[in-house]
Chains A and B, each alone.
Chain A
Amino acid sequence: MVNDGKDEAGSDYSGSTGRKESNNANGGSVGRRSFLKATGAGAVATGVAGCLGGGGDEESVPLSDRDEIRVGVLAPAPSDNPIGASIANGAKLAAQEINDNDGIEGTEMSVIVKDTKEQPQTGTEKYGELIRDENVDMTTGVFTSEVLLAIMDDMPGAETVHMTTGAATPDASARVKNNYEENKYHFRTGPINAHHLGENIVDFVDAKADDLGWESVAVLVEDYTWTEPVSNVLDDTLSDTGINIEMSRRYASGTEDFNPIYNDVEDSGADAAVIAMAHTGTPAVIQWAQQQRPFEFGGIHVPMQLPSYYGAVEGASAYGVTQNSATPTAEVTDTTVPFAEAYNENYDSYPVYTGYISYDAVNQYASVVESKGDIGADPVIDGLENSSYTGTIGTVEYYGKDHEFAHDVKYEQGLVWPVFQQWQPNDDGTGSQEVIFPDNLATADYQTPPWI
Chain B
Amino acid sequence: MVDILQFVILSTIRSGLYALIAIGFTLIFGVGGVLNLAHGASIILGAYAAYYASAAGLGVAGSMLAALVVPAVFGSLLYLFVIRRFEHEPIMVMILTLVTSVAVEQLVIELAGTQAKRVPQFLSGNMTIGGTSVQYNLIAVFALSWAIIIGLFLFINYTKPGKGILATSMSAKGASLVGIKSDRINLATWAIAGALAGIAGMALGSQLGATYHMGRNPLVLSFSIVVIGGIGSIRGSVVGAYLIGFLEVGVIQFVSSDLTGIAPLVVLILVLLVKPEGLFGRELAE
Contacts and interface: CB of A to CB of B under 8 A. Distances in A.
B260 A257 contact: yes
B208 A264 contact: no
Interface string B54-74: 110000000000000000000
A287 interface: yes
Contacts of B125: 292
Interface in A214-259: 251-252, 255-259
A313 B118 CA distance: 5
A251 B209 contact: no
Interface stretch (B25-33, B229-237, B250-258): B250-258
A283 B257 contact: no
Interface residues of A, number: 27
B257 A260 contact: yes
Given A282-B115, A287-B207, A316-B118, A256 B124 contact: no
B253 to A, nearest CB: 7
Interface string A310-324: 001111100000000
Contact of A252 (B6, B208, B258): B258
B252 A256 contact: no
Given A290-B121, A291-B126, A259 B207 contact: yes
B117 interface: yes
A232 B70 CA distance: 48
A290 B113 contact: no
Given A283-B211, A291-B135, A256 B217 contact: yes
Contacts of A261: 257
Which of B116, B207, B217 gathers most chain A CB within 10 Å? B116
B176 interface: no
A260 B211 contact: no
A303 interface: yes
Interface string B121-136: 1001110000001010
A260 B209 contact: no
Contacts of B214: 256
Contact of A292 (B126, B217, B258): B126
Contacts of B257: 251-252, 260-261, 264
B6 to A, nearest CB: 8
A2 interface: no
Given A261-B257, A290-B124, A256 B118 contact: no
Given A259-B207, A286-B209, A313 B117 contact: yes
Contacts of B124: 290, 292
A313 B214 CA distance: 16
Interface in A259-283: 259-261, 263-264, 266, 282-283
Contacts of A252: 257-258, 260
Given A257-B208, A292-B124, A312 B258 contact: no
Contacts of B137: 290-291
A35 B121 CA distance: 61
Interface in B24-52: none
Nearest to A223: B258
A264 B132 CA distance: 11
B113 A287 contact: no
B258 to A, nearest CB: 5
A258 B260 CA distance: 10
Interface in A277-315: 282-283, 286-287, 290-292, 294, 303, 312-315
A312 B55 CA distance: 10
A210 interface: no
A428 interface: no
A251 B257 CA distance: 8
Nearest to B3: A267
A80 interface: yes
B182 interface: no
Nearest to A306: B115
Interface string B1-39: 000001000100000000000000000000000000000
Interface in A308-349: 312-316
A314 B257 CA distance: 28
B55 A314 contact: yes
B206 interface: yes
A431 to B, nearest CB: 13
B58 to A, nearest CB: 14
A282 B209 contact: yes
A294 B126 CA distance: 10
A428 to B, nearest CB: 15
Contact of B211 (A80, A256, A287, A294): A256
B115 A260 contact: no
Given A259-B207, A287-B209, A303 B260 contact: no
Interface string B202-230: 00001111010010010000000000000
Contacts of B121: 290
Nearest to B260: A257
Interface in A363-421: none
A248 B88 CA distance: 54
Contacts of B207: 257, 259, 287, 290
A196 B106 CA distance: 37
Given A257-B207, A258-B208, A313-B116, 9 more contacts: A256-B217, A260-B260, A283-B209, A286-B209, A287-B209, A290-B118, A290-B137, A291-B135, A314-B54
Interface of A: 80, 251-252, 255-261, 263-264, 266, 282-283, 286-287, 290-292, 294, 303, 312-316
Closest 3 CB pairs of A and B: A282-B116, A260-B257, A286-B209
Interface of B: 6, 10, 54-55, 113, 115-118, 121, 124-126, 133, 135, 137, 206-209, 211, 214, 217, 252-253, 257-258, 260
29 contacts: A251-B258, A252-B260, A256-B211, A256-B217, A260-B253, A260-B257, A260-B260, A261-B257, A263-B10, A266-B133, A282-B115, A282-B209, A283-B209, A286-B116, A286-B118, A287-B209, A290-B124, A290-B137, A291-B126, A292-B124, A292-B135, A303-B115, A312-B113, A313-B115, A313-B117, A314-B54, A314-B55, A314-B117, A314-B118
